[in-house]
Structures are given as C-alpha cells and as structure tokens.
Chain A
Amino acid sequence: MNAGILRFKKAGIILFWLLIWQAASTAVHNSIILVGPLDVILALLNQIRLADFWKTIGFSFGKISLGFLSAFATGILAGGAACRYPLIGDFLSPLMALIKSVPVASFVILALIWAGSENLSVIIGFLVVFPIIYIQTIAGIKSTDRHLLEMADVFKMSETKRIFYLYRPALLPYLASSCRVALGLSWKSGIAAEVIGVPLHSIGEKLYLSKIYLSTADLFAWTLVIILLSALFESFFLWLLSLASPGIRQKKKEVGSIWNS
C-alpha cells in the first residue's frame, strides 16, 4: 500500500471516530457531561487568542521540560557512574526502589510542603523520569558487545574513545526507547502535580478551573494542548537524540527504526 493511500486511510479512521464523538455528544445533549469536537475546537480557538494561553503553555512546558532534561542528564551520569563504580550502584539501589514504589501523589504532597507549588512539576517530572533513565542507562552500557570491549583492551583504547565508539552506540537505543516512555510520563505526572498544587499560570491550574466552572469544553481543549505539546516535545527530543547516532540512523534505513516505531 503506498503512502498516499495509507494517509487517506488514517485520515478516514480519525474522521470516523470524530463523527462518533460528535454523534455521542449530540445524543447526550449536555455540554457538561460530553462536549463535541466542534465545541472543543471553538474553545481552543477562543483560548489561543489570549496572551494568557501562551503564558500558561510557556510556564508548564518550561517546568516539565526542565524536570525531564535534568532527570535525563542526571540519570545518564548516575547510571554511568554506577556501571563504572558498582558501589555507587549499590548505594543508589534503595533510593531507586523507593522512588519507583512511592506513589506520585505522595511525592506531590511532599514537594508541595518542601518546595511550594511554583516548581512542583519540575520536581515531579524529575522523580518520574530519573529512575527510568538511570535503569536504562545501566542496561544500555551492560549491553555493550563484550568482544568489542576486549578489542578495546587489546588496542588500549582510551576511556573517552570507548565512550564515544563503544558505549554510545550501545546506549542510544536504550535511551531512545526509555525516553519514549519517560517523556509521556513526565507530561502526565507534571500536569497531575499542577492540578494538585495549582501553581499560577500553569496548565494544571487551567484544568482545575475547568473543573470548578464545569467547563468541559475548556477541559478537553487543554487536554488537546497537552497531547500536542507532549507529542511535539517527544518528536523533537527523539530527533535530537537520533542525531547523536549516525550508525543508528543508518540502521533505521535498513530495518525500520526504533525512532519512528
């Protein structure tokens, strides 16, 4: 099936579900319980015109991205250090188990008490993403071909060259797949934290207000915005990550990509 027909088919399926949604909304005939796609688009268009809309997006995007990026960098460094010095891994192990098992809601309350609502989504984004990146970094480094490491020993390759030529290609596929999961989670948990903490000018605040004013159209419109922002950030970040790996880009041509799957 060629690309044109495939796109047409996808558009048809989306249109089908939009029509179902619109029909359900018309049948329910209650804009608090279920609004239709047209109402959502109108609500979104009304929001887009306001300067506050962009300020809100900037606030939440900045905070959640900061949480993700700092967890990404720290996770790689900590994972690398844990592989190099197993004692560090031993020390971090209980901390990781704790972060993974404590409910996000508990962290949100704690973070509210300790740091207030302003940077809530940064902290929560970090705590959700950090263990994923840390664990996948260790898995990626450990997946490095043993034969290549022996070759590096025989030729006395420097540590920097080993990182660049051996560990990097092994690590990047693991990072790409973990980022795919972690990016979505950072948005979901970051927004959830904002709904609980209600920091000013955040998307979470807007969702909270939608609930207070029973404005389902606004709730759906903001949800659509979150989905779009999350998807855009994910695509952009995975594209950046793919640039770090010429070999994996080559592989993409050969077997279809982990980046686009």
Chain B
Amino acid sequence: MELVISQLCKSFDGHLVLDHVNLHLISGNIYCLMGPSGSGKTTLFHILLGLVSADSGEVKGLYKERISAVFQENRLCEAFTPVENVTMIMPSSSGNNKRKAREALKRLLPEESLYRPASTLSGGMKRRVAIIRALMVPFDMVIMDEPFTGLDEETKQQVITYIKEQSAGKLVLISTHQEEDVQLLNGIKIHL
C-alpha cells in the first residue's frame, strides 16, 4: 500500500489546522507523526478515516483499503466487556472470534479484567483494549492517535512489541509527543 497525501488543507471556523500537508507513506513502515497539540494530527487522522472531509488537497491510495484505528478517546462500549468490545467489530460473530479476542487480550491485560464491563477498567486498561481491537480486524493501514497515553513504561514496551508484531508488513501511522517512542517503534519521524 502506498499513501500519497498532497497539499491537504483543512480549517475550522476560519482557523487553518492543516496547511498544505504533503506525505508519502509506504506499507511495512511505522510512521510517527509528531507535533504540538493543535497541530492537526487528529484532524489528519479523521480525514484519512473519512470522518471529516478536507477543504482542499488530495489523498491517493486510500481507495478500498482497509483502515483500522485507535482513536484519541478510546471509544469503547462501556457497558460491554473487553472481549465483547473486540468481537463486536470482528467481521463475523462466532465462538472462534471470542477465542481469538480472549487470547489477544490476555497478552496485554489481566485475565480477570476480560469479563468486566469496560466502564470498570482503568484508563490504561481501556487504552490497551482499544489498541487490541484495532489490530484484531483485517487491515492494510492502522492509524493510532496517541496510543500510549496512560500507559506506564513497562506496559508501553509490551504494547509496542504487540503493535510491531501484529502490524508487520502493514502501514502504521502513530501520533505521539515522545521522541523515545520513535526509537522504541523503530519508526520514521514525521513533523506536522
């Protein structure tokens, strides 16, 4: 997959958020999007996810591609368990999906937390559920908006290992404020 973003612009209420953004992204790489708060990282992600339309510019290579995402907010269904939150977005409902979701979740979460409503989980646990959910669907590109928020160093390391393993050969676009994340991910730094 090759994603080419050319001259992308977006403004809200007259305030220019994205000013002629140009990017060239290729599968097999992890791109770390850096920039201060308000620099338009989330807006760019929303445009790529089709949630917001750009004012001008072009995005090539997105057509029919499967995109997955970790949103800035976790966007979990709070009344449902982590297992349900993962299986609900998997293409078909089967016992096999449950088993796969359970196995994946057990890698990053304590087993007792898998069957509790998401509303009872800590912020860090919810973040991990959101990350696993994004990596459990078939995808060609995954967008992660500040995925390491609320994670301690040890957990972050586990999560990074998991992300690298599950997204091998795919296009990964991650926004972060930490320079060290770029090294841990073996990522390519992009400034917005």
Among A155, A247, A248, the residue within 8 A (CB) of B68 is: A155
Q: Does B88 contact A (CB under 8 A)?
A: yes
A151 within 8 A of B: yes
Any B CB within 8 A of the CB of A150: yes
B20 within 8 A of A: no
Contact with A along B65-91 (1 / 0, CB 8 A): 001110101010111100010001100
Specify which of A154, A157, A247 is in contact with B79 (CB 8 Å cutoff).
A247
With A155-B89, A165-B88 known to touch, is A247 a contact of B75 (CB < 8 Å)? no
Q: Within 8 Å CB of A150, what residues of B? A: 49, 51, 71, 75
Chain B residue at minimal CB-CB distance from A152? B89
- Chain A residues, Cβ within 8 Å of B68: 154-155
CB closest residue in chain A, given B46: A150
B119 contacts A by Cβ under 8 Å = yes
For the complex, what is the distance from the CA of A254 to the CA of B79, rounded to whole Å? Answer: 12
Judged by a CB distance under 8 angstroms, whether B36 is at the interface is no
Which of A148, A154, A246 contacts B49, CB < 8 Å?
A154
* Min CB–CB distance A160 → chain B (angstroms): 9
Is A245 an interface position by the 8 A CB rule?
yes
Q: Is the CB of B119 within 8 A of A250?
A: yes
Bound CA–CA A52/B157 (angstroms)? 75
Least Cβ–Cβ distance between A167 and chain B, in angstroms? 11
CA distance A154 to B51 in the complex (A): 8
> Shortest beta-carbon distance, B97 to chain A, in Å?
12
Asked if A157 and B89 sit within 8 Å, CB to CB, the answer is yes
The A contact surface, by secondary structure, is helix
* Distance, CA A148 to CA B130, complexed state (A): 12
Contact in complex: B117, A154 (CB < 8 Å): no
Bound CA–CA A155/B133 (angstroms): 10
Are A165 and B84 in contact, with the CB atoms below 8 A? yes
Contact A155 B137 (CB under 8 A): yes
Per the bound structure, the CA–CA distance linking A251 and B117 in Å amounts to: 9
Inter-subunit contact B79/A153 (CB<8 Å): no
In whole angstroms, what is the CA distance A175 to B77 when docked? 19
In the assembled complex, A147 has its CB within 8 A of some CB on chain B: yes
| Alpha-carbon gap, A250 to B80, bound state (A) | 10
A161 on interface, CB distance cutoff 8 Å: yes
Known: A147-B71, A153-B50, A154-B49. A250 touches B89 (CB 8 A): no
| 6 contacts across the A-B interface (CB closer than 8 A) | A150-B75, A151-B71, A152-B89, A155-B137, A157-B88, A169-B79
Q: Which residues of A contact B (CB under 8 A)?
A: 147-148, 150-155, 157, 161, 165-166, 169, 245-248, 250-251, 254
Add 19 more A-B contacts to A147-B71, A250-B119 (CB < 8 A): A150-B71, A151-B71, A154-B50, A154-B67, A154-B69, A155-B89, A165-B80, A165-B84, A165-B88, A246-B79, A246-B117, A247-B79, A247-B119, A248-B79, A250-B79, A250-B117, A250-B120, A251-B119, A254-B119
